[in-house]
Amino acid sequence: MALYAALLYYAEDGGWMGREHLAEHSGFLADPAAAEVVRGWQALCPAGTATTITVGGGLGGDVMITDGPYAEAKEVLGGFYLLEAADLDEAIRFVARIPTAWRGKVEVRPVLPANPARSRP
């Protein structure tokens, strides 16, 4: 057996948040066939909530923080870490230590809360 990441792309930012489409995913996950294969999943908040981090030079270098997702046609997605942090600053401090931050860029996007009604900041 091997592990695969299925990365979900959409034409429209936040287009996946529609009730109907989320129900489709629930249906997909409820299928016993999915239970055999799916090891974990998360929906992300819209790309408008993304922050991109890059570190100059190497570990401990200048941390560059920019608003928005990383959308460069030439670079490719190489993997992901699922992080738990108290807030964005704490997440950024950790992300700045991920080696990709100086070899490429790391986009940080909040995971969509299970119950969005609870998510008032």
Partner 1 sequence: MIPEERLAETVRVEGSWVVATLTRTLGSLDLAEDAVQEAAVAALRSWPLTGVPDDPRAWLAVTARRKAYDVLRREAARPGKESAASRELPGVAADPAEEVAGMAEPDSVVRDDMLRLVFTCCHPALSLEARVALALRTLARLEVPAIARAFLVPEATMAKRLVRARQKIAAARIPYRVPSDAELPERLPAVLAVVHLIATEAHAPTGGEDVARAGLEVEAVRLARLLAELMPGEPEVWSLLSLLLFTAARRPARTGDDGEPVLLADQDRSRWDQGKITEASALLAEAVRRSGGKAGPYQLQAHLSACHSTARSWADTDWDRIIGLYDLLLCLSANPAVALNRAVAVGERDGPAAMLTVLDSLPPLPRSHLWHAARADALQRLGRLEEASHELLGAVDLAPTGPERRLLARRLAGLLPPSGHGQ
Residues that bind partner 1 (CB under 8 A): 45, 48-51, 62-63, 65-68, 86-90, 92, 108-110, 115, 117-121
Residue 64 Cβ vs partner 1, minimum distance, rounded to whole Å: 8
Percent helix, strand and coil across the chain, each to the nearest 5: 30, 10, 55
d(C-alpha 85, C-alpha 5), whole Å: 23
Based on its alpha-carbon atoms, the radius of gyration of the chain, rounded to whole angstroms, reads 16
Query: In sequence order, which residues have a C-beta less than 8 Å from that of residue 46 and are 6 or more positions away?
Result: 13, 14, 17
What does the alpha-carbon distance between residue 103 and residue 61 come to, in Å, rounded to a whole number?
12
- Least gap, CB of 65 to partner 1 (angstroms): 4
Q: Which is nearer to partner 1, 39 or 118 (CB)?
A: 118
Contacts of 113 (CB under 8 A, 6+ apart): 119
**In terms of CB distance, is 24 or 66 closer to partner 1?**
66
Q: Which is nearer to partner 1, 35 or 117 (CB)?
A: 117
Provide the minimum distance between the beta carbon of 75 and partner 1 in the complex, in angstroms, as a whole number: 20
Residue whose CB is less far from partner 1, 74 or 120: 120
CB of 70 to partner 1, least distance (A): 13
